[in-house]
């Protein structure tokens, strides 16, 4: 295997500064002035795709927007039929987002392609390897507009579900209608799908959306797996009665039952290893100041490193809810709205990323991702690997989200080294 990337360190530093500058440029493409918000199939989506395509062509890539609205750049090794190593992440955001979640991974992929070409100048605008290099900017990782995450990468993985066409946004626009308004043809969605034999693998660089690297004072980590997740919408049914006239021994307060359930989720999950439960939404009905709530609705997001442990904890939560609601004279029901199995990064890709980080006397950290990523969808058709970058204080999905230029430079070098190691592997 190669030892270190044969390129001037100043080129890496310049690449990192360019990534940070372009993160700022993309942050100005937003639907809400003063905040960052770019959702699927919006004018902002079209604008960032055009920018990404321009930057891809700048380094000699052929470009295309696929049938799902993903923007893809490609360097071929001489023929257009070689399998591709795909590098990327996403350019869409949550409301009031930070500048780096997803975006830094796309821009790092472009800079890695540029650097790898620079150490093989005789290749011209071609890939310097036996495989093609593709950089992909996925279009809808977050699911902000239609409530379904990973739409862009699911299309590439060939796992598109036709039931999704009926999804609607807050304005009642269906996904099918939004496709047409964006200039895409719903009937051609299958053309976005890639076959396993078309891909060598998928690598994704991403800020860690938590504090582990920051607490360890480490810049980079190898990702071992992406958390399994289940999401539920729960309803608690009680009795709405007059707030002043109903004594406590006659109350069936649905909001208090839901509130106790939320505390139970925290208590149960805090007692587990690598299980995170979050109640992110809670509503009371009829919602008047002088009425005991007769109904409460809340969400539950449950994540874990392993599917079996996650499911065991859900069973424990359900049993606890039976007890809470029984004591309070309430009824409850749940509807599962999302179920994603854990995705494990390929051992070979973990190894090449570990070698790419390299150089220290101790091996780099290996951690699992509690957040979901496009790699989860790509794992259905190819091997996936992920590189995490330190995120100060671990804050994400928030304007204070951050990453340093120095860590981006380290990540660019590590990702480029990883690809060199992968290219040197026999077979």
The pLDDT tens digits for 150-182 are 999 999 999 999 999 999 999 999 999 999 999
Q: Write phi, then psi, for 138 (nearest 5 degrees).
A: -70, 155
pLDDT of residue 1: 42
pLDDT above 80: residue 5: no
26-81 per-position pLDDT tens digit:
999 999 999 999 999 999 999 999 999 999 999 999 999 999 999 999 999 876 78
- Residue 367 pairs with which residues in a beta bridge? 223
Closest by CA to 276, choosing from 236, 235, 231, 234, is 231
- Report pLDDT for 2: 47
| 94: pLDDT strictly greater than 50 | yes
When pLDDT is cut at 50, 70 and 90, the band that residue 136 belongs to is very high
In this predicted structure, which of 6-15, 113-122, 375-384 has the lowest mean pLDDT? 113-122
In SS3 terms, the chain reads as CCCCCCCCHHHHHHHHHHHHHHHHHHHCCCCCCCCCCCCCCCHHHHHHHHHHHHHHHHCCCEEEECCCCCEEEEECCCCCCCCEEEEEEECCCCCCCCCCCCHHHHHHHHHHHHHHHHCCHHHCCCCCCCCEEEEEEECCCCCCCCCCCCHHHHHHHCCCCHHHHHCECCCCCEHHHHHHHHCCCHHHHHHHCCCHHHEEEEEEEEECCCCHHHHHCCCEEEEEEECEEEEEEEEEECCCEECCCCCHHHCCCHHHHHHHHHHHHHHHHHCCCCEEEECCCEEEECCCCCEECCEEEEEEEEEECCHHHHHHHHHHHHHHHHHHHHHHCCEEEEEEEEEECCEECCHHHHHHHHHHHCCCCCCCCEEEECCCCHHHHHCCCCCEEEEEECCHHHCCCCCCCCCCHHHHHHHHHHHHHHHHHHHHCCC
Average pLDDT value for the chain:
94
Would you say residue 192 has pLDDT above 80?
yes
Residue 133: CA count within 13 A, CB half-sphere = 26
User: Which two tokens mark 259?
Assistant: 């509130």
Identify the band that residue 360 occupies on the pLDDT scale cut at 50, 70 and 90: low
Q: What is the pLDDT of residue 187?
A: 98
Separation of alpha carbons 275 and 267, rounded Å: 11
Question: Which residue has tokens 């992406």?
Answer: 226
Residue pLDDT, tens place only, 206-248: 999 999 999 999 999 999 999 999 999 999 999 999 999 999 9
pLDDT at 81: 85
pLDDT in the model for residue 340? 87
pTM here is 0.91
Q: Which domains does the chain have, with CATH numbers?
A: 9-227+342-424 (3.40.630.10), 228-340 (3.30.70.360)
Q: How confident is the model at residue 121 (pLDDT cuts 50, 70, 90)?
A: low
Residue 357 has pLDDT above 60, yes or no: yes
Place of tokens 């008047």: 288
Q: Report the pLDDT value the prediction gives residue 120, as an integer from 0 to 100.
A: 67
For residue 259, the model assigns a pLDDT of: 98
pLDDT at 128 over 90: no
Summarised one tens digit per residue, pLDDT across range 243-267 is 999 999 999 999 999 999 999 999 9
- β pairing state of 241-242 and 291-292: antiparallel
């Amino acid at each position: 295997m190669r030892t270190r990337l044969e390129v001037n360190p100043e080129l890496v530093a310049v690449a990192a500064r360019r990534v940070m500058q372009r993160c700022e440029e993309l942050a100005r493409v937003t639907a809400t002035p003063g905040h960052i918000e770019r959702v699927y199939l919006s004018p902002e989506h079209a604008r960032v795709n055009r920018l990404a395509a321009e930057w891809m062509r700048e380094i000699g890539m052929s470009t295309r927007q696929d049938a799902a609205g993903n923007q893809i750049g490609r360097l071929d090794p001489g023929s257009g039929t070689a399998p591709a190593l795909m590098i990327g992440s996403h350019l869409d955001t949550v409301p009031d987002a930070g500048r780096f979640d997803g975006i830094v991974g796309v821009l790092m992929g472009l800079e890695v392609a540029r650097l790898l070409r620079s150490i093989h100048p005789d290749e011209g605008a071609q890939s310097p390897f036996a495989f093609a290099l593709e950089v992909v900017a996925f279009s809808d990782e977050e699911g902000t507009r239609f409530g379904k995450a990973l739409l862009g990468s699911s299309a590439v993985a060939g796992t598109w579900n036709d039931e999704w066409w009926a999804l609607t946004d807050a304005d009642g626009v269906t996904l099918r209608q939004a496709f047409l308004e964006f200039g895409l043809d719903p009937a051609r969605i299958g053309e976005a799908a890639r076959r396993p034999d078309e891909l060598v693998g998928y690598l994704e660089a991403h800020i860690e959306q938590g504090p582990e690297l920051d607490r360890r004072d480490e810049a980079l980590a190898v990702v071992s797996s992406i958390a399994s997740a289940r999401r539920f919408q729960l309803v608690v049914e009680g009795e709405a009665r007059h707030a002043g006239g109903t004594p406590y021994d006659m109350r069936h307060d649905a909001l208090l039952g839901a509130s106790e359930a939320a505390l139970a989720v925290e208590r149960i999950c805090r007692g587990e290893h690598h299980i995170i439960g979050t109640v992110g939404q809670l509503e009371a009905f009829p919602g008047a100041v002088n009425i005991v709530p007769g109904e409460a609705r809340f969400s539950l997001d449950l994540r874990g490193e392993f599917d079996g442990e996650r499911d065991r904890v859900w069973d424990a939560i359900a049993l606890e809810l039976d007890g809470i609601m029984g004591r309070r004279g309430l009824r409850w029901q749940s509807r599962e709205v999302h179920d994603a199995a854990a995705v494990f990064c390929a051992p070979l890709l973990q190894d090449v990323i570990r070698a790419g980080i390299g150089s220290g006397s101790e091996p780099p950290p290996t951690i699992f991702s509690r957040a979901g990523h496009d790699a989860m969808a790509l794992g259905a058709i190819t091997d996936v690997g992920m590189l995490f970058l330190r995120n100060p204080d671990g804050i994400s999905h928030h304007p204070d989200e951050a990453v340093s230029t120095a860590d981006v430079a380290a990540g660019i070098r590590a990702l480029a080294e990883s690809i060199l190691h992968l290219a040197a592997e026999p077979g």
